[in-house]
Amino acid sequence: MNFITKKHIPRRAFLRGAGVTLAFPLLDSMIPAQTPLSKTAAVAPTRFMGIFVPHGMAPGYWIPTSEKLESGKMLSIMEPLDRVLDDKGQLVRESLLDHTVIMSGLWSKSAEPPPGVTGADHWVAAAYMCATKPKKATGADIRDGTTIDQIIADKIGQETPVPSLQLAIEDPGANSSNCGEGYSCAYTNSISWASPTQPLPMELNPQIVFEKLFGDVQAKSAEERAERREQDRSILDSVSQKLAKFSKDLPASDRNKVDEWATDIREIERRLQVAKLASGQVTGENVAVPAGIPEAFDDHVKLHFDLTTLGFKMDGTRVASMLYARDLTGRNYPKSGTNSSFHGASHHAENPERIKDYSKINRYHVDCLAYFLDKLRSTKDGDGTLLDHSLVLYGTNMGDSNQHLHYDVPHIVAGGAWGKLKGGRHLPFQTKTVTTGNLLLSILDVYGIHQDSIGDSSGRLAGLV
């Protein structure tokens, strides 16, 4: 198979092998001569990633002190978004503040219990990207709202092999239809809804995500992929001759891009193999680790982020969402510096030492976000980077987790969105005046999706774009 001609290479150039289909990253050879990058169909639109973390953030440890994000002046939880040095003073990560907007004072009204009801807010994950209060139901009559990731995917994701990825770092683990107080577990287990009655399953296993991105859609692909996995064959090995033929006549700059892309794939395959070998081990929570799922949160979340980056890079997908944890999680995070469980630590009883302890978990979670943003920033995409050409939404459902209050809720929007989003800013809003629905409505505007409203929105979010 020879793609190389005197004309440019099609953006949808593929290599196919036994049970695999490999799409290439954006190469210079895919852009017709004399054609401005912004005018070519080879360029993907703004990618989107929505990330949800329950339980808010420790009060006093995250809200910036000014409306300009200044290096060296970020409070503890947000420090990972600034320039990071190791214990020896060596640079770990350049500052991401210029690509970051932090919002304080937002009101997650849709996550509040219905009037006259207390304690019934463990379904708030479902409200995160639609700003709609879910219907109290445990059976087939569940109802929420279509989430913005799926609205965006309907517009920009249909041209890609995988219209959207739904990822999770914690096994839902609940087969019951009732997750308490008369609410379906569907509201807890998914942040992505294709329609008001259709929650999408969040994929826990990075191996399955990998197969979605690289699996061949031809009739025998499932059997071929299974055979290749049993033989522990790399997907690159199955197309090595075709890959060498494809690369042979490329200019040096494109050969380097293909080499980097192939290296990324091999590294992810290596990490998936490590996870596979570890399957059957038991976590500290006495839960067996399924095949292909890393035991450690740190390994798991980074694999999902790296797969998302690779999917964005090769235009295998343009839209993704990630659920860090379920609301009642008992998980702890050894790399955070505390052994307290997430949900337990969130109920800090207003004790200053316990609030400080809780802030360490929040800081660690933001550090994982910063890892992803830095990965996007280090990945070239046309005349910029994936971070320049993406929008990442990171948020939560509570302000004061101890009291389950859903105002003064932390949100971060990062990326450049092809020049539509200006970073380095803190947008403070007056308590209980601006709902998260306004933020979602403004994000849709970035994608050219102009709706009158979404969920509980009352207008656009002033100052975001």
DSSP string, 289-329: PPTT--SSHHHHHHHHHHHHHHHHHTTS-SEEEEE---TT-
The conformation of residue 180, written as its DSSP 8-state character, comes to S
Separation in Å, CA 313 to CA 264, 307, 326, 351:
11, 10, 29, 45
Domain residues for 248? 209-288
Asked whether 56 and 396 are in contact (CB, 8 A), the reply is: yes
User: pLDDT by residue for the chain (465 residues), tens digit each?
Assistant: 344 444 467 766 767 766 677 778 888 887 765 555 555 556 789 999 999 999 999 999 999 999 999 999 999 999 999 999 998 999 999 999 999 999 999 999 999 987 766 666 777 899 999 999 999 888 889 999 999 999 999 999 998 989 999 999 987 654 455 577 788 889 999 999 999 999 999 999 998 899 888 875 443 455 655 555 555 567 777 777 778 888 887 888 888 888 888 888 888 888 888 877 765 544 444 444 456 789 899 999 999 999 999 999 999 999 999 999 988 888 999 999 999 999 999 999 999 999 999 999 999 999 999 999 999 999 999 889 999 999 999 999 999 999 889 999 999 999 999 999 999 999 999 999 999 999 999 999 999 999 999 999 999 999 998
Do residues 97 and 133 share a domain?
yes
Task: Look up the pTM and report it.
Answer: 0.88
Do residues 177 and 226 share a domain?
no
CATH of residue 191:
3.40.720
Separation in Å, CA 367 to CA 60, 330, 335, 336:
18, 20, 10, 9
Which two three-digit tokens encode residue 100? 């970051």
Count of structural domains within the chain: 2
Do residues 318 and 173 share a domain?
yes
Do residues 60 and 199 share a domain?
yes
Domain boundary among 288, 306, 336: 288
Do residues 86 and 160 share a domain?
yes
Beta-carbon neighbour count of residue 420 at 10 Å?
A: 14
DSSP states along 246-289: HHHTS-HHHHHHHHHHHHHHHHHHHHHHHHHHTTT-B-TTS-BP
